[in-house]
Amino acid sequence: MSQLQRTFSIIKPDAVMRGLTETIQKHLEGEGLRIVAQKKITLEASVAEQFYAEHVDRPFFRDLVGYMTSGEIVVQVLQGDDAIAHHRQVMGATNPEEADPGTLRALYGESRERNSVHGSDSPEAARREIEMFFPGEAAPQSA
């Protein structure tokens, strides 16, 4: 049985900079992932560090924070059936070269780092990430 869920999505600086925001939003909506909240923002380094805290010890952490603060991003809440796993499928693998054809990262990603989109990877992550940017919006609402 499928479950109505919300998940958190970012259109990353490389994609916003190339004018891909609407194209990616249409792709998501076409997949049944409804955009129920969105805003365009620029991340402070401290917020990017908190958002990616699980990666603090990885060699790419500094570069990742630099990249994510390098330009505007669009943060959004998506709602749909099994939205968390479905959105990860629609995004494709982290490395665009390994992403399935037709996925957002295969279509638009430039590199393993500059891979155009973010999506929560678990219900716990979805809740934490939505609450960071859209307090009170984590619970799905029908109709």
- The Cα 112–Cα 95 span in angstroms is 4
- The Cα 135–Cα 97 span in angstroms is 35
3 contact choice in Mg ion, ligand IDP, none (CB below 5 to 8 Å, kind-dependent): none
In this chain, which stretch among 15-23, 36-44, 111-119, 129-137 interacts with ligand IDP, using CB under 6 A?
111-119
Residue 5: strand pairing partners: 80
In this chain, which stretch among 16-24, 29-37, 109-117, 128-136 interacts with ligand IDP, using CB under 6 A?
109-117
CB 12 within 8 A of CB 90: no
Closer of 35 and 64 to ligand IDP (Cβ): 64
- The Cα 19–Cα 143 span in angstroms is 31
**Does residue 110 touch ligand IDP according to CB under 6 A?**
no
The residues that touch Mg ion, with contacts defined as CB under 5 A, are 121
